[in-house]
Chain A
């Protein structure tokens, strides 16, 4: 416990933007065939450093086959609310779930990120026993401690009961139990986030483990059996208050990105694919008159491609779907970044008017058919996937792998780990930085990125920016 609040806790998004820029990025590494243990890479992102854009430290896990995907900090700016009662936590530990093993690693990044080490390991049995959930995924720090979403319920294949959110103690990392008291019609899970002062949570839907662990199930997708609903919850009462169906053809409603400024009661949701036309889409939800609403506010068309450019899975369609796999909102809520993992494009939308996103910038890299190389000449396998924005909004980092078995279906030639960075211009426009290219060790793929001192998909705020 500190005597003062952690200097990387910011009362408002504006203060987060004014804080010193990030020095290190943390990226999880995945061994897709489970031949090696998964790992956490610490990357130097100080432009004036000798080791800029290089891995300066690796934390290798003691097990194999964990399948790292998303991860998060033990504490963030949300601790600055007196309501949470833990203002003196440190932003210090990374909570890294193994999505396939259901094991969770707690990695200590202090006193020095280049000496980060495992602090604690929570074995799968503890999670099964205390929560009845499996396949932990998204991690957020909030009023009741650390919240972790899961993709599976109980039983071997995770279909015994619905998946949901569980809570961990933010000091001891003890698994405390299920978060939901009344889940309403919710039976699938993926991402979640919230508006703390307004006291609501938003959750999304991907699929149950048999629909993703051994690869995408085309029959299930074409019969619209993947998730297509969004759920709104009373955060403190832990109760589902509203569920909205986007329409069954809007398959896989994944990332939830509420506006950072808590005075703004809206946010965005990315939908991977529309099975009627292969479009990807962006949806805007908002609260008005005590009710939540959502509408499709941007679509991204598929791109025709010759059969020989396509993996067997897509050959029947003669086109590449954009596959909106991740979205991320800048700290000032002005720009929404949309990763089109299929077509190989990172889109930047101006969302100053949240229900009328305007395309403001775009970068082409990778892609199933296009295979656009990096401006430095290097090949970029896969497409833009997990995206993270610096707090000041000037740098946008992303990696290229989606999920081990899905990578193999969409990119059968393999997806060697890559992480790039683009400079974002103040009023829109995106350009890849030629000098930023991370070399990952052979046999590893790269997933989510976290920045020291907080980032745009970690920190939630209790005070507006005004």
Chain B
């Protein structure tokens, strides 16, 4: 296979890797599933808590990607949109680098509204934005693959791709988070929560900027 053939594989791996990365980060919520399991004294409660966490994360991805799914259908603007998206991701990464504050409004969400919280926390930290350059890359690959098609068909393809990317990402996220929660609940104990928690704020902000920068370079080249 040529280098070009490998591109979609790398992009899909990036979708999965970012999902795993979000999933193992306690800040994205898996300790809440542990708490739910222990509070109700039932592994079923742990699993039940994972669903709203997944749904919220999935929705946060879709909310960010879907507008781009519609935009990239405007073929003549594609390059502009891709560069704009890269700049947006870089800008948000730089913003997170400077402003380290956790949005206070998140602390107002009740523990009973896990789905809403998961949605808000993913949105606030730009988790969805990281997927945008990867998603745009996948759209371009799909388009190159199928040749020129009607705009309507292209939108359908792009929308389908958006849902697929968000779903694969969220599945990887919850697989990783669910494993961490189950390990803490069943085997490692509550100490694992603080042991597994690293302050990734800087790395997160830098990786957002990096993803945006790579996408920008690829688009300009």
Chain B residue at minimal CB-CB distance from A466: B38
With a cutoff of 8 Å between Cβ atoms, the chain A residues found around residue B109 in the complex are 83, 236
B104 contacts A144, C-beta separation under 8 Å? yes
B34 contacts A463, C-beta separation under 8 Å? yes
B29 at the interface (CB under 8 A from A): yes
B106 at the interface (CB under 8 A from A): yes
Q: Which of A3, A86, A236, A462 contacts B198 (CB 8 A)?
A: A3
One of B60-68, B161-169, B187-195, B208-216 at the interface: B187-195
One of B71-79, B110-118, B129-137 at the interface: B110-118
A81 contacts B100, C-beta separation under 8 Å? no
A237 contacts B111, C-beta separation under 8 Å? no
With a cutoff of 8 Å between Cβ atoms, the chain B residues found around residue A198 in the complex are 111
A198 to B111, CA, bound (A): 8
With a cutoff of 8 Å between Cβ atoms, the chain B residues found around residue A462 in the complex are 31, 35
Interface string of B22-40 (1 = CB under 8 A from A): 0000111101101100110
With a cutoff of 8 Å between Cβ atoms, the chain B residues found around residue A9 in the complex are 194
B199 contacts A1, C-beta separation under 8 Å? yes
B31 contacts A81, C-beta separation under 8 Å? yes
> Interface size of B by Cβ–Cβ distance < 8 Å?
33
Q: Which of A87, A88, A171, A263 contacts B39 (CB 8 A)?
A: A263
B199 contacts A11, C-beta separation under 8 Å? no
A82 contacts B191, C-beta separation under 8 Å? no
B107 at the interface (CB under 8 A from A): yes
User: A260-278: which have CB < 8 Å to B?
Assistant: 262-263
B193 contacts A80, C-beta separation under 8 Å? yes
Q: Which of B38, B102, B107, B199 contacts A3 (CB 8 A)?
A: B199
**What is the distance, in angstroms, from A381's C-beta to the closest C-beta of chain B?**
43
Q: Which of A144, A199, A463 contacts B38 (CB 8 A)?
A: A463
B138 at the interface (CB under 8 A from A): no
A236 contacts B110, C-beta separation under 8 Å? yes
Size bin of chain A's contact surface: 35 or more
B148 at the interface (CB under 8 A from A): no
Q: Which of A1, A80, A196 contacts B111 (CB 8 A)?
A: A196
With a cutoff of 8 Å between Cβ atoms, the chain A residues found around residue B27 in the complex are 82, 85, 87
User: Of B100, B193, B198, which is in contact with the most chain A CB atoms at under 10 Å from its CB?
Assistant: B193
**What is the distance, in angstroms, from A348's C-beta to the closest C-beta of chain B?**
28
A214 at the interface (CB under 8 A from B): no
Q: Which of B35, B41, B107 contacts A85 (CB 8 A)?
A: B107
B197 contacts A83, C-beta separation under 8 Å? no
User: B92-147: which have CB < 8 Å to A?
Assistant: 100-104, 106-112, 117, 121
With a cutoff of 8 Å between Cβ atoms, the chain A residues found around residue B193 in the complex are 11, 80, 463
A-B contact count (CB 8 A): 96
A429 at the interface (CB under 8 A from B): no
B101 contacts A171, C-beta separation under 8 Å? yes
A344 at the interface (CB under 8 A from B): no
Given contacts A145-B104, A464-B38, is CB(A11)–CB(B110) below 8 Å? no
A262 to B190, CA, bound (A): 14
Interface string of A221-239 (1 = CB under 8 A from B): 0000000000000101100
A464 contacts B39, C-beta separation under 8 Å? yes
Chain B residue at minimal CB-CB distance from A18: B191
A143 contacts B199, C-beta separation under 8 Å? no
A86 to B102, CA, bound (A): 7
A83 contacts B198, C-beta separation under 8 Å? no
B39 contacts A11, C-beta separation under 8 Å? no
B100 contacts A11, C-beta separation under 8 Å? no
A12 at the interface (CB under 8 A from B): yes
Q: Which of B108, B190, B198 contacts A4 (CB 8 A)?
A: B198
With a cutoff of 8 Å between Cβ atoms, the chain A residues found around residue B190 in the complex are 11-12, 14-15, 463
Chain B residue at minimal CB-CB distance from A86: B102
**What is the distance, in angstroms, from A264's C-beta to the closest C-beta of chain B?**
11
With a cutoff of 8 Å between Cβ atoms, the chain B residues found around residue A464 in the complex are 35, 38-39
A1 to B200, CA, bound (A): 11
A1 to B202, CA, bound (A): 11
A414 at the interface (CB under 8 A from B): no
With a cutoff of 8 Å between Cβ atoms, the chain A residues found around residue B103 in the complex are 85
A85 contacts B121, C-beta separation under 8 Å? yes
A82 to B177, CA, bound (A): 13
With a cutoff of 8 Å between Cβ atoms, the chain A residues found around residue B191 in the complex are 11, 15
A437 to B110, CA, bound (A): 45
A197 contacts B111, C-beta separation under 8 Å? yes
User: Of B27, B35, B39, B191, which is in contact with the most chain A CB atoms at under 10 Å from its CB?
Assistant: B35
**What is the distance, in angstroms, from B39's C-beta to the closest C-beta of chain A?**
6
User: B9-49: which have CB < 8 Å to A?
Assistant: 26-29, 31-32, 34-35, 38-39, 41
A8 to B191, CA, bound (A): 12
A5 at the interface (CB under 8 A from B): yes
22 contacts between A and B (CB under 8 A): A14-B190, A80-B194, A80-B197, A81-B31, A81-B32, A81-B35, A82-B27, A83-B106, A83-B117, A85-B106, A85-B107, A85-B121, A86-B102, A143-B107, A145-B104, A197-B39, A199-B112, A234-B110, A236-B110, A263-B41, A463-B38, A463-B190
Q: Which 4 A-B pairs rank lowest in CB-CB distance, beginning with the nearest? A: A85-B102, A11-B190, A143-B107, A236-B110
Having A82-B32, A198-B111, A236-B109, one finds 11 other A-B pairs with CB under 8 Å, namely: A11-B194, A83-B107, A86-B102, A87-B26, A88-B199, A144-B108, A171-B101, A234-B110, A462-B31, A462-B35, A466-B38
